[in-house]
C-alpha cells in the first residue's frame, strides 16, 4: 500500500511540474499573468489512478502506467492550452494587422494630400511669378489700393510716372505726398470711374506731363468694395503728336475752305442761281457746270468734316444751345435734300409729332446730324425707294426720339460695330463713297446734347438710324 501512495505522489508531482513548466513558457510568450497551477489532480486522472490502485490489489503496481497517464494528460492539457493561445495570438495578430492597415491608409491619405497641396502651391507660385513678371514689365503704371487707400501693389512704371519709390508707399495711404491733381485721380473715394486725363508738372523735369488714368473698384464675393485698381498711362508724347496733327488739319482745311467757298460763289453766279447772270449758257455748258458744282459741294462737306474732327479732338467744338422747334429743323432739312431725292425717284415721308415744346439744342448741329443721316439714306437707297423720318416721345417722357429709316442696301452685321468709327466706309461695293467721318461726327454731336444714337439694319432690306434728345439740359455740354 505504501508503494501505491508513493507512486501517486510521484505522478502528481510530475504532472504539476510539467503543467507549471508549460504555463511559465506560455506566460513568457504572452507576457500576461497566468493563474497559479491547479492544486489537485483532475477528475479524469484521479479515476485512472484509482483503477490502477484497485488493480494493484491483484498484482504488483506499475509505476510506468501511472507516469504514462500523467504524461498523456499533461500533453492533452498542453495541446488545449497551445490551441487556445494560438487562436488568441491569431486574433491579436489580425487586430494588429488591421491597425497597421489603417495607419498605412491614413499615412497614404496624408501623403497624397501633402503632394496635392505641394503641387497646388508650386502652381500658384508659378502663376504668381508669371503675374509679377507681367505687372513688372507692362508699360502702364499699375497701382492697387485697399479700402483705406493704402497701397497694396505698385509696379515700376507707376513709380516712374508718380515719381515715388514703391518701398516708401507700400502700406501707406496713396495720397500722402501726392499732387492735388493726382490725388483726385487716385483717391479711392472718387466716384468717377473710367478714363480721366490729368495734366501736371513733372517733379524732376519741371515740364508738363499728361496722364490718362483709368480706375475700377475691387469687390469681394459679397459685392463689398475692398479696394481700387488704377491704370496710369503717360500720353504726353501722344498728345503732342495729336496737337501737331490737329493744327496741321486745321490749317490745311482753313486754307482749302477759302478757295472752295470762292469757287462755289462763282458757280452760283455762272448758273444764275444768285446775283446778276454772267451770261447765257447752252445745255452742255450748264451740265458741266452742274457737275463741277456738285463736286465742289462734296469737297466743301469734306472740308467741313475735317474741321469738325479737328475741333472735336482739340476740345474746341462748341454747342450753342437755344430753344428750338424740332419739327421745323426736320422740315427744313428734308426740303433742302428733296431735290437730290427726287433725282433718284426716292420719296421722303415725314411722320412728325407737332406737339413737341421747344427743345434746348443747337439748331445748326442737329441740322448737320439730320443732313448726314438723310443724306446717307438717299445715297444708299436705290431708285424708287422710300425714306421715312419720324419724331415721337420716348416712353419715359423725358426725351424725344428721331428716326430715319430707308429701303436701301442695308448694312452687314459684322460692319455695324464699326459704323460710328472714323474713316469707316461700307458703300464701295455699290460705287458709293464718302469721307467716313459723318457718322462719327453725328455721334459726337448727339452725345454732346446728352442723347444717344443707334442703328438697326438688315442687309438688302434697309436701315434705321435713331437718336434721342433730352427735353432738359442738366449737364455742361461744352465740358468747360
**Which SS3 state, helix, strand or coil, does residue 124 take?**
helix
| CA–CA separation, 218 and 225 (whole Å) | 6
Q: What is the DSSP letter of 173?
A: B
DSSP annotation string for 358-422: -EEE-HHHHHHHHHHHHHHHHHHS-TT-EEEEEEEE-TTSSEEEEEEEE-S----GGGGGGTTST
**Whether 168 and 256 share a structural domain:** no
**Which SS3 state, helix, strand or coil, does residue 293 take?**
helix
Least confident of 104-113, 290-299, 352-361: 290-299
- Residue 252 sits in a domain whose CATH number is 1.10.287.130
pLDDT of residue 114: 92
**Whether 355 and 415 share a structural domain:** yes
Burial class (CB in 10 A: 0-12, 13-18, 19+), 119: exposed
The pLDDT of 463-471, averaged and rounded, is: 94
Question: How many other C-beta atoms can be found within 10 angstroms of the C-beta atom of residue 22?
Answer: 18
Question: How many other C-beta atoms can be found within 10 angstroms of the C-beta atom of residue 68?
Answer: 13
- Which ranges of 163-273 would DSSP assign to H, the alpha helix? 166-169, 180-186, 236-270
The sign of the torsion formed by the CA atoms of 190, 196, 201, 204 equals: positive
| CA–CA separation, 308 and 376 (whole Å) | 18
Q: How many domains does the chain have?
A: 4
The tens digit of pLDDT for each residue in 186-214 reads 544 444 455 666 666 665 556 677 778 78
| CA–CA separation, 312 and 419 (whole Å) | 18
Cell 439730320, located at residue:
370
Residue 90 lies in a domain: yes
**Whether 329 and 435 share a structural domain:** yes
The pLDDT of 102-112, averaged and rounded, is: 91
The tens digit of pLDDT for each residue in 207-248 reads 677 778 787 888 888 888 888 888 888 888 888 887 787 788
CB 41 within 8 A of CB 100: no
CB 145 within 8 A of CB 186: yes
**Whether 219 and 293 share a structural domain:** no
**Whether 349 and 465 share a structural domain:** yes
**Whether 454 and 356 share a structural domain:** yes
CB 397 within 8 A of CB 358: no
CB 13 within 8 A of CB 72: no
| CA–CA separation, 318 and 477 (whole Å) | 8
**Which SS3 state, helix, strand or coil, does residue 434 take?**
coil
Residue 93 lies in a domain: yes
173: β partners: 150
Q: Which three cell numbers stand for residue 471?
A: 427735353
Residue 12 lies in a domain: no
| Angle made by CA atoms 133, 138, 140, in degrees to the nearest 5 | 145
Question: How many other C-beta atoms can be found within 10 angstroms of the C-beta atom of residue 446?
Answer: 20
pLDDT of residue 78: 85
Q: Are strands 208-219 and 225-234 parallel, antiparallel or unpaired?
A: antiparallel
Residue 477 lies in a domain: no
**Whether 346 and 434 share a structural domain:** yes
Q: What is the dihedral of CA 186, 187, 193, 197, to 10 degrees?
A: -40
Residue 478 lies in a domain: no
Boundary-marking domain end, from 66, 95, 124 = 124
Residue 110 lies in a domain: yes
**Whether 332 and 460 share a structural domain:** yes
CB 217 within 8 A of CB 234: no
- Which ranges of 41-62 would DSSP assign to H, the alpha helix? 43-56
Residue 203 lies in a domain: yes
Q: What is the DSSP letter of 36?
A: P
**Whether 228 and 244 share a structural domain:** no
- Residue 363 sits in a domain whose CATH number is 3.30.565.10
- Residue 157 belongs to domain spanning: 141-235
Stronger pLDDT, 20 or 241, i.e. the higher one: 241
pLDDT score of 469 more than 60: yes
With a CB cutoff of 8 Å and minimum separation 6, the contacts of 246 are 310, 313, 314
pLDDT of residue 475: 62
The pLDDT of 160-182, averaged and rounded, is: 72
pLDDT of residue 205: 55
Give the count of alpha carbons within 13 A of 328, CB side only. 9
**Whether 301 and 216 share a structural domain:** no
Tally of residues, the chain:
480
The rounded mean pLDDT for the chain is 78
Confidence of residue 63 (pLDDT cuts 50, 70, 90): low
The tens digit of pLDDT for each residue in 115-155 reads 999 999 999 999 988 888 888 888 888 888 888 878 888 88
| CA–CA separation, 236 and 157 (whole Å) | 15
**Whether 358 and 459 share a structural domain:** yes
Residue 57 lies in a domain: no
Boundary-marking domain end, from 124, 149, 184 = 124
Q: Express as a percent the part of the chain with pLDDT over 70.
A: 75
pLDDT of residue 476: 60
The tens digit of pLDDT for each residue in 442-452 reads 999 999 999 99
**Whether 246 and 227 share a structural domain:** no
| CA–CA separation, 314 and 332 (whole Å) | 31
Q: What is the pTM of this model?
A: 0.54
DSSP annotation string for 136-151: HH-SSEEEEEETT-BE
Amino acid at each position: 500500500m505504501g508503494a501505491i501512495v508513493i507512486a501517486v505522489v510521484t505522478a502528481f508531482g510530475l504532472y504539476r511540474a510539467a503543467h507549471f513548466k508549460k504555463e511559465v513558457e506560455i506566460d513568457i510568450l504572452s507576457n500576461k499573468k497566468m493563474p497559479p497551477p491547479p492544486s489537485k489532480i483532475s477528475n479524469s486522472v484521479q479515476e485512472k489512478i484509482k483503477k490502477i490502485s484497485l488493480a494493484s490489489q491483484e498484482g504488483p503496481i506499475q509505476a510506468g502506467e501511472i507516469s504514462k497517464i500523467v504524461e498523456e494528460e499533461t500533453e492533452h492539457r498542453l495541446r488545449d492550452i497551445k490551441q487556445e493561445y494560438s487562436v488568441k495570438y491569431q486574433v491579436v495578430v489580425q487586430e494588429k494587422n488591421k491597425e497597421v492597415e489603417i495607419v498605412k491608409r491614413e499615412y497614404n491619405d496624408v501623403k497624397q494630400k501633402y503632394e496635392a497641396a505641394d503641387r497646388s502651391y508650386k502652381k500658384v507660385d508659378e502663376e504668381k511669378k508669371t503675374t509679377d513678371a507681367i505687372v513688372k514689365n507692362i508699360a502702364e503704371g499699375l497701382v492697387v489700393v485697399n479700402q483705406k487707400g493704402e497701397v497694396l501693389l505698385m509696379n515700376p512704371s507707376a513709380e516712374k510716372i508718380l515719381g515715388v519709390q514703391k518701398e516708401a508707399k507700400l502700406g501707406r495711404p496713396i495720397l500722402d505726398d501726392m499732387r492735388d491733381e493726382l490725388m483726385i485721380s487716385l483717391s479711392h473715394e472718387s466716384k468717377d470711374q473710367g478714363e480721366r486725363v490729368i495734366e501736371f508738372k513733372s517733379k524732376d523735369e519741371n515740364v508738363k506731363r499728361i496722364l490718362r488714368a483709368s480706375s475700377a473698384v475691387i469687390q469681394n464675393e459679397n459685392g463689398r468694395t475692398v479696394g481700387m485698381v488704377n491704370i496710369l498711362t503717360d500720353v504726353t508724347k501722344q498728345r503732342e503728336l495729336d496737337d501737331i496733327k490737329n493744327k496741321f488739319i486745321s490749317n490745311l482745311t482753313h486754307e482749302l475752305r477759302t478757295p472752295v467757298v470762292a469757287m462755289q460763289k462763282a458757280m452760283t453766279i455762272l448758273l444764275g442761281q444768285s446775283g446778276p447772270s454772267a451770261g447765257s449758257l447752252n445745255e452742255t455748258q450748264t451740265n458741266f457746270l452742274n457737275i463741277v458744282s456738285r463736286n465742289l459741294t462734296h469737297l466743301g462737306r469734306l472740308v467741313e468734316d475735317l474741321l469738325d474732327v479737328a475741333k472735336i479732338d482739340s476740345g474746341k467744338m462748341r454747342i450753342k444751345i437755344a430753344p428750338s422747334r424740332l419739327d421745323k429743323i426736320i422740315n427744313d432739312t428734308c426740303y433742302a435734300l428733296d431735290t437730290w431725292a427726287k433725282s433718284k425717284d426716292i420719296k421722303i415721308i415725314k411722320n412728325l409729332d407737332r406737339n413737341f415744346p421747344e427743345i434746348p439744342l443747337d439748331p445748326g448741329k442737329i441740322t448737320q446730324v439730320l443732313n448726314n443721316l438723310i443724306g446717307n439714306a438717299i445715297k444708299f437707297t436705290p431708285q424708287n425707294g422710300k425714306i421715312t423720318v419720324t419724331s415721337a416721345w420716348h416712353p419715359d417722357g423725358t426725351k424725344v426720339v428721331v428716326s430715319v429709316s430707308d429701303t436701301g442696301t442695308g448694312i452687314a452685321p459684322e460692319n455695324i460695330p464699326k459704323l460710328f468709327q472714323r474713316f469707316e466706309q461700307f458703300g464701295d461695293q455699290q460705287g458709293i463713297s464718302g469721307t467716313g467721318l459723318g457718322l462719327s461726327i453725328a455721334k459726337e454731336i448727339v452725345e454732346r446734347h446728352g442723347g444717344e444714337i443707334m442703328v438697326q439694319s438688315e442687309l438688302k432690306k434697309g436701315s434705321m438710324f435713331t437718336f434721342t434728345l433730352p427735353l432738359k439740359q442738366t449737364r455742361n455740354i461744352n465740358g468747360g
